A and B are shown apart, each in its own frame.
Chain A
């Protein structure tokens, strides 16, 4: 009986989707996105669209292999933009009404009066809500697999990881939508509040990423100042010793020697003053950066704790990117970009021959420095385990579903 009822609900869900225009509109748009990806290519000069070629220095077949190029296109446009944003919004619009319609008076009575437990009924209905995305992403991924295979000459089965990942990603939002739909019985409320929740998740994610960047920056600054503090102290000690030596007046000193000694002493004292000034500035900066580091650390811990509770939508989608692209390939592309940037900078310096501003901190503003921090940030993000990303997100979904199931099981309809 369980199988019969589950099958009946799945078939009914399919019929419901089939009756919705939005399902077919989304499918057609998916097809257009795949066709658009297939129209883009890469050659030795740059990027080609149909029969036109656009020369790009850092993005050509000499630097990036066609296989990697198509994977990047699939990840960045097909996956990150189309599936993660556009198709998800369309899916939410299409499925937001499922639970409110299901629990509407006159409709829920008919199913509750059947020999099926409330818990199973609700969870099956919830699962059928994910069918929309599962079907859409399956079609899109299969088409993308073919495009990558035919145009990029690489048959990449890991592309199909997109199916469970997108369904999981959508389920993190849909559980909230289902809970609100059940509680309010309003499609509009379910849709708007889910969008708001998604925005909150996005804000928390962005805040965490930014705070991590600032925190790493401050840590690097502190480390850099601390590293330079020791040689500076040694230089000061050396200067002090030299001054001490020069301050000793010999018993019989020639006038010329005296003049020379006093001149050296004055130079040494000026140098010491400069070094002490640098040390003072350095100490003040160190304190500032240490304070910033502590403050940012506290903020980061708080935001990270909040993020741990919430579903990790961006990281969930990042799993596919990490799986499809190797660090070597990414580094190769990044090096090419860096090299190109360096060439441009050198060219600009040659043209302008302007001295760098004294107000700016050359080390702090140096591209090597920010690049190192960005790399460390990426390393930290990539080092987060799949179990942490998916485990905490699924735990969130389980808690939300448990609340929804409790409401559904106890409510009088």
Chain B
């Protein structure tokens, strides 16, 4: 058995036909999700996240797809009996109660009557809906529907759950509960794929993420892996009695390029100095996550009688990564939302 829950290669989706406007929604998606991990799928509106998830769940037919879900080819219907899916903007029949919703979708997933009755009660308790289990869905708030939605994804005891915007319309307490449920599922060995706009939520729970931009995977990996090249140290220095500008330039002269505020350390990392006047604090940025790399700099600054006020390791957030991914490097502006038209 492969250790990948999802292994996708070259997923393509073109909407439209010869006689209508054609939109290339997905352009060769390659993505891997390990078993038992929490995987976050992010991207701006129209990037193709929901299309990709719907292809996995056979709601949309791919134009081209190779790869596997739980070891079987994409689109293999019986495998869906081992998957739980919560679509975005889901709509449950409003004449059913929460318990009936869980049991109905359990039956559709092939769960035995006795099991779905037993698990239905357990899951409604798990999502905090026991008290409202026999109330019709039409009387539920958005958050309550979301909780019942989560419960129905788990009724078949799935190996993989895919939640599309699970915290949509949920209050902070509910969001925390859902986060805890996600972690609990991981603890039980279930693979969780989350599709969300709430980057801070994803950052807290996801082992790995993929960022989709205009139908392509822009970057993929753990947050640490994705940010390793962007991690840096920042050193803030001041001087009690002399001109900071001159003192910093003199202290760092051996690394700085003459006449410039940038340079390279002996170990190859780049150095950038930001000076804001003779008496304002100076800021040094070293492109490295290693503490040892900045030690010679600190020594040199102290030797020049400068006061080191702060040394901070800086790690970019998921939001920084996301914003970088959705920014056009040529214009510095955010890319237009939506998929590209044409082939």
Contacts and interface: CB of A to CB of B under 8 A. Distances in A.
B24 to A, nearest CB: 14
Interface stretch (B52-60, B190-198, B253-261, B307-315): B52-60
Interface residues of B, number: 34
A406 B88 CA distance: 26
B108 A7 contact: no
B80 to A, nearest CB: 5
Contacts of A24: none
A5 interface: yes
Contact of A117 (B60, B77, B85, B104): B77
A195 B60 CA distance: 32
Contacts of A352: none
B105 interface: yes
A109 B90 contact: yes
A8 interface: yes
Contacts of B95: 15-16, 18-19
A1 B85 contact: no
A111 B108 contact: yes
Interface residues of A, number: 29
Interface in A1-53: 1, 4-5, 7-9, 11-12, 15-16, 18-19
Nearest to A106: B91
B90 A106 contact: yes
Given A110-B105, A412-B61, A115 B80 contact: yes
Nearest to B76: A115
Interface string B234-274: 00000000000000000000000000000000000000000
B40 interface: no
Contact of B110 (A9, A115, A117): A115
B140 interface: no
A108 B57 CA distance: 11
Given A412-B15, A413-B59, A109 B54 contact: yes
Contacts of B57: 109, 112-113
Contacts of A115: 77-81, 109-110
B142 interface: no
Contacts of A16: 93, 95
Contacts of B59: 108-109, 112-113, 412-413
A109 B153 CA distance: 12
B87 A106 contact: yes
Contacts of B61: 410, 412
Contacts of A15: 93, 95-96, 100
Interface string A108-128: 111111111100000000000
Contacts of A8: 104, 107-108
Nearest to A7: B107
A7 B110 CA distance: 11
Contacts of A7: 107
Interface in A80-121: 104-117
Contacts of A116: 77, 108
Given A7-B107, A114-B108, A106 B83 contact: no
B92 interface: yes
B80 A114 contact: yes
B302 interface: no
Contact of A4 (B78, B87, B107): B107
A105 B89 contact: yes
Interface string B5-25: 000000000010000000000
A187 to B, nearest CB: 15
Given A1-B110, A109-B54, A104 B104 contact: no
Interface in B93-135: 93, 95-96, 100, 104-105, 107-113
Contacts of B89: 105-106
A413 B81 CA distance: 20
Contacts of A18: 95
**Residue from A15, A109, A112, A117 with most neighbouring chain B CB atoms (10 Å):** A109
A9 B95 CA distance: 14
Interface string B134-155: 0000000000000000001000
Contact of B105 (A11, A105, A114, A413): A114
**Most B CB within 10 A of own CB, among A15, A115, A117:** A115
A178 B58 CA distance: 22
Given A1-B110, A104-B91, A117-B77, 17 more contacts: A4-B111, A4-B113, A15-B100, A110-B85, A110-B90, A110-B92, A110-B152, A111-B108, A112-B59, A113-B58, A113-B85, A114-B105, A412-B54, A412-B61, A413-B54, A413-B59, A413-B60
Interface of A: 1, 4-5, 7-9, 11-12, 15-16, 18-19, 104-117, 410, 412-413
Q: Which 5 A-B pairs have the closest CB atoms?
A: A8-B107, A19-B95, A106-B91, A109-B87, A113-B57
24 contacts: A4-B110, A4-B113, A5-B107, A8-B104, A8-B107, A9-B108, A12-B104, A15-B95, A15-B100, A16-B95, A18-B95, A104-B91, A105-B91, A106-B89, A110-B105, A112-B57, A113-B59, A113-B80, A113-B83, A115-B78, A115-B80, A115-B109, A412-B54, A413-B59
